[in-house]
Amino acid sequence: MNPSTLRIATRKSALALWQAEHVAALLRAAHPGLAVDLVPMSTRGDEILDQSLATIGGKGLFLKELEMAMLEGRADLAVHSLKDVPAQLEPGFVLPAILPRADAADAFVSNDHADLLALPHGARVGTSSLRRQAQLRALRPDLVLLDLRGNVGTRLGKLDAGDYDAIVLACAGLERLGLAARIRSRLAAPDWLPAPGQAAIAIEACDNNLGVLSLLAALDDADTRLTVSAERSMNQALGGSCTVPVGAWCVLGEHGLHLRGMVGDAASGRLLHANGSGPVDQAQALGREVAAALLVQGAGELLGL
């Protein structure tokens, strides 16, 4: 029998709450009569903001408390930004729905400058993402790159306080929070690559909860699942960590999937790129193929493999 109520475990940031409310609304619309509640909780990843993600154990930290809530029966599903979900899920968990993707580009955000090339020599740019740092360094070796962590609102506050001349955020997050006006220019493929899975929202649940899984499957977008699965399998073949300077962008065209991948080095700004195409039923093989092409160019050395 199908459950009559679904409880959504979510982090408490404004972006996480927006995404959970969005999923709740979609579930209520897809299943009239179904009650959907939010269960907001803090995660270790939210509390430890002064250390880099790599030192505190990677992005899995943002998922752990939410997964515990599902295992202990306090929630039925969790809503995540797919780019924060490790390529390899914890055993017993699945992603029964991946929502249609929003704008996957990164955003150049600044109060005084229109785009990256307009920044004065030696300008200070804030981002803690090694992927963003490597691509910034490649395009503008003169910039001073500074760490910047915290929720979207915190990061914008530090920009407005004058700590940086510009910062880089995801367009999708800004749009969801009603902050699209802060986007001065888009940093987009093919020159600039997003994180694997960026701008897609994923729903996670326990793999044995069949009634819950069937309700959630109604929200799955097959095309988005295909493209992000190529991106995520490329990332996994490169070591799987979410804290490495890896970018990926896959599109579905008339003739199948087209994947572009990037591995970079934040210190030197050296970037490696590779492209591949394949049929829609070979998304994961395409990801492994593009990863192999990057490894042949020396990606292993940049990633410390």
Ligand X SMILES: NCc1[nH]cc(CCC(=O)O)c1CC(=O)O
- Report the catalytic residues: 84
Count of residues of this chain found to bind ligand X when the rule CB under 6 A is applied? 10
CB of 82 to ligand X, least distance (A): 7
Provide the mask over 176-215, with x wherever binding to ligand X is found by CB under 6 A and - wherever it is not: ----------------------xx----------------
Q: How far is CA 291 from the centre of its chain?
A: 18
Give the nearer residue to ligand X in terms of CB position, either 59 or 260.
Answer: 59
Give the nearer residue to ligand X in terms of CB position, either 129 or 209.
Answer: 129
Q: Which of 202, 227, 228 is nearest to 216 (CA)?
A: 202
CB of 11 to ligand X, least distance (A): 10
Give the nearer residue to ligand X in terms of CB position, either 194 or 278.
Answer: 194
Contacts of 242 (CB under 8 A, 6+ apart): 53, 58, 59, 60, 83, 84, 86, 87, 195, 235
Give the nearer residue to ligand X in terms of CB position, either 42 or 214.
Answer: 42
Check binding of 172 to ligand X (CB under 6 A): yes
Which residue type is seen at 15? Answer: L
Residue 300 to residues 60, 86, 95, 128, 284, Cα–Cα distance (Å): 23, 19, 29, 22, 20
Check binding of 63 to ligand X (CB under 6 A): no
Check binding of 87 to ligand X (CB under 6 A): no
CB of 173 to ligand X, least distance (A): 3
Among 45, 60, 173, 196, indicate the residue that binds ligand X (CB under 6 A). 173
CB of 299 to ligand X, least distance (A): 22
Check binding of 233 to ligand X (CB under 6 A): no
**φ, ψ for residue 268 (rounded to 5)?**
-100, -20
CB of 53 to ligand X, least distance (A): 9
Give the nearer residue to ligand X in terms of CB position, either 81 or 236.
Answer: 81
The residues with which 167 forms a beta bridge, in sequence order, are 109, 126
User: Is the distance from CB of 8 to CB of 204 less than 8 angstroms?
Assistant: no
CB of 279 to ligand X, least distance (A): 27
Among 10, 43, 81, 229, indicate the residue that binds ligand X (CB under 6 A). 81
Among 7, 83, 137, 232, indicate the residue that binds ligand X (CB under 6 A). 83
Check binding of 152 to ligand X (CB under 6 A): yes
Q: Which of 99, 71, 106, 103 is nearest to 85 (CA)?
A: 99
Interface segment toward ligand X; rule CB under 6 A; list 3-11, 33-41, 167-175, 246-254:
167-175
Among 170, 179, 257, 286, indicate the residue that binds ligand X (CB under 6 A). 170
Give the nearer residue to ligand X in terms of CB position, either 193 or 295.
Answer: 193
Residue ranges that bind ligand X, judged by CB under 6 A: 81, 83-84, 152, 169-170, 172-173, 198-199
